[in-house]
Amino acid sequence: MIIAAADGSALGNPGPAGWAWYVADDCWAAGGWKHATNNQGELTAVLELFRATAHLDEELLVKCDSQYVINSVTKWMPNWKRKGWRKSDGKPVLNVELLQQIDEAIAGRRYRFEWVKGHAGHALNEAADARARAVAEAYRRGSTVPAGPGWSGACEADAAPALATAGPIGEPELHGAAELFEEEAPSPHDDRSPADATLFDFDDPASDWLAMTLELTADEHARLVERARAAGISPEEFLRGLI
């Protein structure tokens, strides 16, 4: 089994953006754009990982902190395809070109996704995140983009030890929480825990905008403010990210 992390980063979302997949320090790749969204970075990281490992027979375990990506690939995409790549409201699916390319790349492949909490010290996820962000920073500064060594002969040797160092696999988190909005959440908003995820679970985003009212207790409000402060954003922005 090959164990890898895939992550994206966008400064400003949209803004200078990067993607990266990571197996080991001598087995990783990254790239990006002058202007893109975080979700585009997350999807591209997964796409490029599948492309880089297309010649291998091993099962691929993708560790990913984006529930938008995991749900798109494992839960929503089959319905979108049947509807001509349209959502339940008839509107076109966002990032459809990337999703179609992922659909082609995973055909016939053995793979699993495992959700990991972002920015929580997970070694592989942190390594992928750091490289994706470094690309975004390079585009913002106009400096050389760190593309990485890609998949080389060293990668086959690195993939096996990764299984021993990545911790217990367990059952992968496949569906978590569905994102209400396909393009709105920067990476700090997308690393929700399964406990947060149970608040909302929709099979398919029904519209591009939905209004709702939430009532919070004093303790819940205090917890929301504390977590928003830790993420460096307003409570309103943090709440939108949870939703």
End-to-end CA distance of the chain: 34
103 is in an annotated binding site: no
Domains parsed from the chain with CATH numbers: 2-165 (3.30.420.10), 187-242 (no CATH)
Do the annotations mark residue 219 as ligand-binding?
Answer: no
At 150-161, the pLDDT tens digits run: 998 778 776 655
Report how far apart, in Å, the C-alpha atoms of 32 and of each of 18, 41, 140, 144, 212 are. 4, 7, 11, 12, 35
Identify the active-site residue in 7, 114, 126, 182.
Answer: 7
Is 8 one of the catalytic residues? yes
**Catalytic residue flag (residue 108):** no
- Is 215 annotated as a binding-site member? no
Mean pLDDT, the chain, rounded, equals 79
pLDDT at 167 over 50: no
* pLDDT one-digit tens code per residue, 100-138: 999 999 999 999 999 999 988 899 999 999 999 999 999
- Express each pLDDT in 26-42 by its tens digit: 999 999 999 999 999 99
Is-catalytic flag, 26? Answer: no
Tell me how far apart the alpha carbons of residues 79 and 200 are, in angstroms, rounded to a whole number. Answer: 19
Q: Is 42 among the annotated ligand-binding positions?
A: yes
